[in-house]
């Protein structure tokens, strides 16, 4: 049976999209700048429209019904096409056009790649804004659901995003980092020291430590004494300690002097990481999105061309 669209408030699709994304009446209301009573009223109207509860209580959260789950993707697709139609432009002028982009990236990528981007945008695109979101447990699902403009992560950990449009940005490797005056480490580091010295590692539910996966595969046991969920903070935690850490070389090059650390060659052959940006297919032809991707790719190429190893021999 067909439905007469003139009798349907299409704004309810916006409410449904928010409810399915947030799974909370309160958060959905905040997302749409609506009060909780207004959002609850919208949910009640949606339930009548579809003849289904759509969201049911499951502890402290709301769980979508099978019908609601089947509606999530087509509703998002409809709203995306409407947004594209309303925002359609044949060109993008970075000097005058306003746009806000959302980027999912680690603090390592933010320091090494996005900070230079911010400098460039201030000159070339003063009305362009970038909202950086840290890697969460569903960072790959977020980009697949088109909840961000770009995802920048190593290809080695993007197993669920491999079929999305992407571009390789730069390659990096891991080096050993210790306090500059570490009492037990000289000009080189041995495999035995990797297993004997206290270890500072990266550990977060969203992203496995690629270097730790490799060390485990090589049978290198570590004495984990400190765990941090920040790549960028890790080098600054080494000062005055006997700790060592495995740090991305480009990040190490940025912070070695400020963090008062020394960098040494790893005593084992470790695979590098290949940072890439991923995006939803609907953005591929968007002039503004394409312009931003070009800026990031150019800066990444500059990183590759100007890279100097911070490894010292003393």
Mean per-residue pLDDT pooled into runs of 10, the chain (314 residues): 64 88 88 88 90 88 90 84 66 92 96 96 96 91 91 91 91 97 95 96 84 94 95 97 97 96 96 96 91 97 71 49
Q: What integer pLDDT is reported at residue 312 of this predicted model?
A: 53
Strands 174-179 and 61-64, by their bridges, are unpaired
* Pairwise CA distance, residues 211 & 228, whole Å: 14
Say whether 174-271 and 5-86 share the same fold: no
Name residues whose C-beta falls within 8 Å of residue 221's C-beta, 6 or more positions apart in sequence.
Answer: 195
* Pairwise CA distance, residues 44 & 109, whole Å: 43
Q: What integer pLDDT is reported at residue 279 of this predicted model?
A: 96
Q: Which CATH superfamily is domain 99-160+283-304 in?
A: Periplasmic binding protein-like II (3.40.190.10)
Q: What integer pLDDT is reported at residue 86 of this predicted model?
A: 63
Element (H, E) at 95: none
pTM of whole model > 0.85?
no
H helices of the chain, in order, are 11-22, 25-32, 36-50, 66-86, 107-109, 115-124, 139-144, 191-196, 210-217, 249-259, 287-306
Q: Decide which of 1.10.1740.10, 1.10.10.10, 2.70.150.10, 3.40.190.10 is the CATH code for 5-86.
A: 1.10.10.10
Q: Are 234 and 200 in contact (CB under 8 A)?
A: yes
* Pairwise CA distance, residues 92 & 289, whole Å: 9
| 115, two tokens | 């900070």
Query: Domain spans of the chain?
Result: 5-86, 99-160+283-304, 174-271
Element (H, E) at 159: none
* Pairwise CA distance, residues 17 & 25, whole Å: 12
Q: What integer pLDDT is reported at residue 214 of this predicted model?
A: 94
What spatial distance separates the first Cα and last Cα of the chain, rounded to whole Å?
79
Q: What integer pLDDT is reported at residue 87 of this predicted model?
A: 59
| 213, two tokens | 């996966």
Q: What integer pLDDT is reported at residue 304 of this predicted model?
A: 80
Strands 166-172 and 150-154, by their bridges, are unpaired
| 259, two tokens | 């963090």
**Burial label, 85 (beta-carbon count in 10 A; 0-12, 13-18, 19+):** exposed
Q: Are 253 and 232 in contact (CB under 8 A)?
A: no
Q: Decide which of 3.90.550.10, 3.40.50.720, 3.30.470.10, 3.40.190.10 is the CATH code for 174-271.
A: 3.40.190.10
């Amino acid at each position: 049976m067909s439905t007469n669209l003139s009798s349907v408030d299409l704004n309810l699709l916006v409410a449904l999209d928010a409810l399915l994304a947030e799974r909370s009446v309160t958060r959905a209301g905040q997302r749409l700048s609506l009060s909780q009573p207004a959002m609850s009223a919208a949910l009640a109207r949606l339930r009548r429209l579809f003849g289904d509860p759509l969201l049911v209580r499951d502890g402290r959260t709301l769980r979508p019904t099978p019908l609601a789950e089947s509606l999530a993707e087509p509703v998002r697709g409809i709203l995306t096409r409407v947004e594209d139609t309303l925002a359609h432009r044949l060109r993008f002028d970075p000097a005058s056009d306003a746009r806000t982009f959302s980027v999912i990236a680690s603090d390592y990528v933010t320091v090494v790649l996005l900070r230079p981007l911010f400098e460039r945008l201030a000159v070339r695109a003063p009305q362009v804004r970038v909202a950086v979101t840290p890697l969460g447990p569903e960072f790959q699902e977020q980009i697949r659901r088109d909840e961000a403009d770009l995802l920048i992560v190593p290809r080695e950990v993007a197993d669920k995003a491999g079929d999305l449009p992407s571009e390789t940005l730069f390659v990096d490797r891991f080096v050993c980092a210790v306090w500059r005056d570490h009492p037990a480490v000289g000009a080189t580091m041995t495999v035995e020291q990797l297993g004997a010295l206290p270890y500072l590692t990266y550990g977060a539910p969203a992203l496995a430590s690629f270097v730790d996966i490799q060390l485990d595969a090589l049978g290198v046991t570590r004495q984990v004494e400190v765990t941090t969920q920040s790549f960028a903070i890790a080098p600054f935690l080494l000062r005055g300690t006997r700790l060592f850490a495995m740090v991305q070389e480009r990040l190490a090059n940025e912070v070695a002097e400020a963090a008062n650390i020394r960098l040494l060659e790893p005593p084992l052959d470790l695979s590098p990481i290949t940072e890439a940006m991923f995006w939803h297919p609907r953005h591929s032809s968007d002039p503004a999105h394409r312009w931003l991707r070009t800026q990031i790719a150019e800066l990444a190429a500059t990183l590759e061309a100007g890279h100097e190893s911070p490894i010292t021999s003393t």
